[in-house]
Amino acid sequence: MDCSLAVAVRNTLAISVRLPSIMTRRVIFDTNSKHHQPHQEERFEDSKAIRHDLSRLGQAAFKSKNALVASQISYRSHHSEQLKDSYENLLVSTYPIATNEEGGSGEGNQVALMQLNRPKALNALSDAVLDDVLHAAGVLDHDPKIRCLVLTGSKKAFAAGADISEMQSRTFEEAYGSDMFGHWQNLSQLKKPLIAAVSGFCLGGGCEVAMMCDMIVCSESAKFGQPEINLGVIAGGGGTQRLTRMIGKSKSMYMHLTGEFIDAEEAYASGLVAKVFSDDELIEETLKIAKKIGSKGVLSVQAAKEAVNAAEELPLGEGLRLERRLFHSLFATEDQKEGMKAFLEKRPAKLS
């Protein structure tokens, strides 16, 4: 097992077992009182049993063959790594962003296409698949020449869900102790824009990964769903939270409780996807979007992404304040000077 993982688990366990005690409250009704008014009795209970459970969970994570949390730790070092010559479950290609008459990014800048490549399993998201995606995304995110990323699958399936064959035999200790699916969230922490190009089935974990991206575009054959309820579980990679924020409580609840899918037309009408293309045009049109984004100023794109993503979590007042501060900060950049000057001179801006 990776030494860094061992240290992280030990540290986590050490913090957990030092918990002094757990305070519990119990409500007692005084039946002798005329109005039966409740009062609270506070007491502290010994936490030996809780400490024992935490210790057991930590040991399970430490001994886990899959070591799912290793991805969280190793992800941080990807900026110093290179793309692998090949990935077992992923194809990576890059496309140049040509500097044209409209100005835009400098010579040599590119967009990257990551294609899930596990066709026999409809791109089911095994640990190995996610490790490949997170590694490649981490490296590309730190490559100054890469301006935008696209994640796609095959025409038949973007990803049909998490790999059930890997999950079926896992125990609670293994799932909780390793924070199963926790490392998936690294995909939503990229600084550069990430577009999901969806065709065919986009279900369960596949739908959750797509929603971690900054925008979703899809083909006419796309089918979205969170059918985990049919397996005796619920979504565990963000489905209940992100889908609700994107399409609203009622429709999200319907999808989670019934396990039914929605098609591309309904996904577009619900606001889940930004654009719908034909199956044959999906990748070409998505790359056009990626190149257009990649031709803009690096810092303004990063600031816009940060501000929009913050809208999902911040109260309106705090979000507006963050937006203004980011807006103000861009007046320290050369792109702001060039962009506004070019506008006044009625010429294309030459942005970074």
Catalytic residue numbers read: 162, 205, 208, 228
Helix (H) or strand (E) holding 174: helix 172-177
Who contacts 233 (Cβ-Cβ below 8 Å, separation ≥6)? none
Q: Please name every residue paired with 201 in a beta bridge, in sequence order, or none if there are none.
A: 157, 223
Cα dist from 226 to 161, 196, 245, 256, 258, whole Å: 9, 17, 14, 6, 9
Angle, in degrees to the nearest 10, between helices 3-17 and 48-63 = 170
At residue 285, what are phi and psi to the nearest 5 degrees?
-70, -35
3-state SS track over 2-51 = CHHHHHHHHHHHHHHHCCCCEEEEEEEECCCCCCCCEEEEEEEECCHHHH
Residue given tokens 């990679």 in the structure block:
237
Cα dist from 307 to 65, 206, 262, 314, whole Å: 39, 25, 29, 10
| Phi-psi category of residue 221: left, alpha or beta, with phi > 0 → left and psi -120 to 50 → alpha | alpha
SS3 call for 269 = helix
Which of 6, 135, 12, 17 has its CA nearest to residue 79? 135
Tokens of 299: 């810092």
Which of 170, 68, 162 has its CA nearest to residue 122? 162
